[in-house]
Structure 1
Amino acid sequence: MAVEQTVAGANAAIEAGNVVEGEAILKSILENKTSQEDEATLKEQEAALLRLGQLYKDTKNATALADTVRSSRTFMASIAKAKTAKLIRTLIDYFSEIPGSSQIQIQVTKENAEWAKEEKRIFLKQNLETKLIGLYFQAKSYREALPLIDQLLKELKKLDDKMILTEVHLLESKVNHAISNFPKAKAALTSARTAANSIYCPPTLQAQLDMQSGVLHAEDKDYTTGYSYFFETLEGFALQEDPRATLALKYMLLCKIMLNLSEDVNAIIGGKYATKYAGKDVEAMKAVAKAHEERSLEGFEEALRTYKDELSNDPIIRNHLSALYDTLLEQNLLRIIEPYSRVEISHVAKEVRQPVREVELKLSQMILDKVFHGILDQGAGCLVVFDEPQEDKTYEATLETLKHVGNVIDSLYKKANKMT
């Protein structure tokens, strides 16, 4: 039976609703023993393996997909190593579209990396370990990712594989950024860029490097440079029709908001690339920009409630908006307390429409940070605001005088020594 007919028969059964029959046909194809010389049968089995993986992906059956990957190793041993790497990566990627399958995906990837090591398939092992680091990062399993990164980097530096080296350094930067180790995150990104400069860097990988550069500049509050990197990222992903372009656009808008340039948001949204990615993500950033422009805490909170998934699920967006909200609250509090020397905390809370306890804590923090001078009279439930204290220059002037006197005495002492 021809390859197309066999796989076509399985497809016909699946499309007709006979999933069990189609699954049985595909499994029977894979169970046939064959030699490396029988190219037609090998090609047939390869097609059957991919179709079976797609079937389990479509039916959201992560366990069956995992079993298929494990049982296919015998078949994998009989085909070209380059093709094996592509097949396994494709099958493992299918897990990404099955909800709640991240742990199974990690386990299967780990098992296959160990199998590749035993079979001395070094290229496949390194590819799978790179994939595993990415999965650990997505699952926030940073403790598992870091030692694997260190081990893999040692191997890659010996082999001088610049492409995988770039990917691993990029992942290293992301993991270190996630655990707030910013110096290591920057160093890893520099290493990734150095490796990428010595090879042809695929556009998608270059866009990822630009994205990480933008993220790290934003962490340094250098939102202008961050914006330029995110713009490069947007162009790179858009040309490749990569869905991550939407995220780059969100980060661009975030930078404009953090730069107090909320009025630029509408102009960016109307740009040639941005119109293509209009949706809830863009609407969320637009709502935040409007609230920030109006200095409205209520509008800000409304945007956070309405677009919770779009604004809170991304830790980078969440952290910067948290800082922005804190600044906005501080500005509103300063505006309200400015006319007073003594004001009830409950009145301030009412004006900013925030809980009294939260306002009390924020005012306490602002006093400690010397944003303004005052004390909290908790017994009376009031804030007492002091005038800006005049700096007393007497102490500094006295020190300066003593310094000059000391210089004069030293000079006289040297002259006296010369005379004797």
Structure 2
Amino acid sequence: MRHDPTMGEQAQDWTRRAALGLLPTLGLAACAGTRGAEPLKFWAMSYEGDYSPMLMPAFTAATGIAVDVQSLPATASHEKLLTAQAGGAMPDVLMLYNGWVQEFATIGAIAPIPSPALVADMFPGVLDATRVQGRDFAVPWSVAPQVQFYRRDILAKAGYAAPAEDWDGWLRMGHAIKRQRPDDFVFMLLLNWPDTLITMLGQTGATMLRDHDTRGNFQTTEAKAAFAYYARIFAEGLAPKALSTEIQDPVAAFAQGYFAIWPTGPTTLLDLHRRAAEIPAERWGTARLAGPHGLGAVSGLSTSLCVSASTPRPAEAWALVRHLSSPASELRYQRLIGNLPARLSAWSSPQLRAPILAPFKEQMRLPAAAPKVIEWERIKLEIQFAAERVVRGVQTIPEALAGLDTRVDQLLAKRRALVGAGTLA
């Protein structure tokens, strides 16, 4: 692992003062007394879980509080967290994808934040996604908006210095590249990752739910336009009809020119830098995603930190949240895994001034808003399944959207009953 200058004496001192500053009721003696206590439990997913242990020594040195980190597989973490809540076995601190905060707050699994100061320095759009009925239940930790990763050399041969910024231009550019490279594809849009399609739905102005978010609303002109554009990319041979299991090494595929444009998040930066021998940095760049009439809002997998409502050590748990979400910790994480800070103040650091990061910062000021219903993760899966049926020619767009509304209505039946009874706003 490369040396990280953010972990020098100055950064460690800042972290020490910040951590202790959140523990005024415990006092230094109590902090010292925790050295023999059970470690705090922290659960996180994916790269965040894998690399979180590297952020803990500074916290333990400052407070005397040990932390036991458990890294959860992303595909099974949602079920594991719900099982832990049902069984009274939640960790003290947990990472949640922002789309899950509403659900876990609604079932009483996470505690509201104790001080507005914890979220006083966040990108506003990111913070809005973690509010439930006007209360903050999570501290945004990292932001991962989608941008276009593109092959500079391949686009240049087709006459483009950078990717087009609107949908019509995207298709014209795609066909220009396809003429140059008829045996390869242009766009990488994996059928089991629906974020790009959900971005398209938002960009057309589609309101995916109606009647106080109790019914599906996919048989609209806007939703049809998004599905039609998405399906057209595949129908015209510009993207492979593939799942992530069929393209197991997208970095290698990108390096080999199998596709030229890859809408994805910032963790890809680290993958590309690590594999510079396969694809040197001068061959690729980043740009904001195209929209129907120009640049617009996009979706992405942003994450937040939460404290379990059942933790017996809330002051210590919130101290850990403050440490992990501090500018020093967020900047170190950016070096380790590529995810970008949710705190605005962290962006004044020289390490985030690289031109390759500029599209991410611009995009974070305009994140796409998702429906705030606890069923949203399951609705996203239904959108994905409907889109795949259209792309593979199993259903027409009207058939798929009608079926999607039916399935979403079924998912929202309990919510509809609660709203109808006046027990849910």
Q: Report the TM-score, using the length of structure 1 for normalisation.
A: 0.25
More strand by share: 2
More helix by share: 1
Whichever of the two has the greater Rg, that structure is 1
